[in-house]
Amino acid sequence: MHPWHEVGDGVFIRRYPFLDQTIGAITGRDRVLVIDTRSTRLQARELIGDLQALTRLPWVVVNTHVHFDHAFGNGAFRPCEIWSHAGCAEAMRLHGPSQRENVVRWVPDLAAELNDTVLDPPDRTFEEYAELDLGGRLVELRHLGRGHTDHDVIVRVPDTATVFAGDLVEQGAPPGFEDSFPLDWPATLGHLLDRAAGPIVPGHGDVVDRDFVAAQLAEIALVAERARRDWPELAAGGYPALSPPRPLVDDLAGLLGWPPPVVSEALSRAFLQLTGRT
């Protein structure tokens, strides 16, 4: 039996233990759309083996965003079309090597595999919307605004009402804020909810529903609201955007149930937005 779970007719997910990642595969009559390519050439080859146990259709790929665990496996899938927001391809060209260096420091066990991986930016890019015909099935790719990054893409399968959210939605862990835009993220999730009637597949963790996304939207909105409320006074006092005050961090961490370092990073990114530096 293949290791994929069917969340809608011909819409599959496969979860991998590394970072609890969730990969998507959507089959049409003529080709299969693979959503994200994992972290390294080796991890991508494992995914390709799993994909070939599911279908012998030729593939086309979409990257939800540039983070290594979603896009660094691209090279193993060539030759094929690889789709993304234009900002994802640009970010990989400009910042891929430095992202790789950061990950090597963060996950030393992955260093050899990462250094053996050729970064391969997407070649089919768009700004707001693209549509893919998989053969008897249209799939929508949309950028709904800034959130987890400035170029997140969701994948919607209209005939099954399934939405792949990338890391705009995170299950099993708090959202990732390192490259985020917390002031914009809630509105972006609102646009996602406008288009989601069925299962919502996060970039990490288990499939969720609209209520889960609405709750995560409210959590991020709380961060944004506190940042907007407190920043003018902090800025007037010469407080640096990159080190939010401990009492504010602890208060929000208690309310949200997130680790203080996550809250601190979220607030820092919100403060940076309020300074106009991002």
- Which residues of this protein are in contact with Zn ion, per CB under 5 A? 67, 167
Q: CB nearer to Zn ion: give 120 or 167.
A: 167
Q: Are 164 and 35 in contact (CB under 8 A)?
A: yes
Provide the minimum distance between the beta carbon of 165 and Zn ion in the complex, in angstroms, as a whole number. Answer: 11
The residue ranges of DSSP E strands in the chain, in sequence order, are: 5-8, 11-16, 21-27, 32-35, 59-62, 82-85, 124-126, 129-133, 138-142, 154-157, 162-166, 200-202
Report, in Å, the least distance between residue 189 CB and Zn ion: 15
Minimum Å distance from CB 242 to Zn ion? Answer: 20
Nearer to Zn ion, 167 or 184 (CB): 167
Query: For Zn ion, which is the closer residue by CB, 67 or 156?
Result: 67
Residue 148 beta carbon to Zn ion: minimum distance, rounded to whole angstroms: 6
Instruction: Between 51 and 66, name the residue whose CB sits nearer to Zn ion.
Output: 66
Residue 202 pairs in a beta bridge with 166
Residue indicated by tokens 């060209």: 93
Q: Which is nearer to Zn ion, 19 or 161 (CB)?
A: 19
Question: Distance between CA 171 and CA 87 in Å, rounded?
Answer: 25
Paired with 200 in beta bridges are: 163, 208
Nearer to Zn ion, 160 or 180 (CB): 180
- Matching residue, tokens 């950028």: 143
| Closer CB to Zn ion, 67 or 100, in the complex | 67
At closest approach, how far in Å is the CB of 20 from Zn ion?
12
HEC string of 123-168 equals CEEECCEEEEECCCCEEEEECCCCCCCCCCCEEEECCCCEEEEECC
> HSE on the CB side for 104, CA within 13 Å?
13
Diameter of the chain measured on Cα atoms: 62
Q: How far is the CB of 161 from Zn ion (least distance, A)?
A: 24
Smallest distance, Zn ion to C-beta of residue 155, A: 15
Strand partners, 138: 133
Contact 273/183 with Cβ under 8 angstroms? yes
Distance of CA 237 to the CA centre of its chain: 35
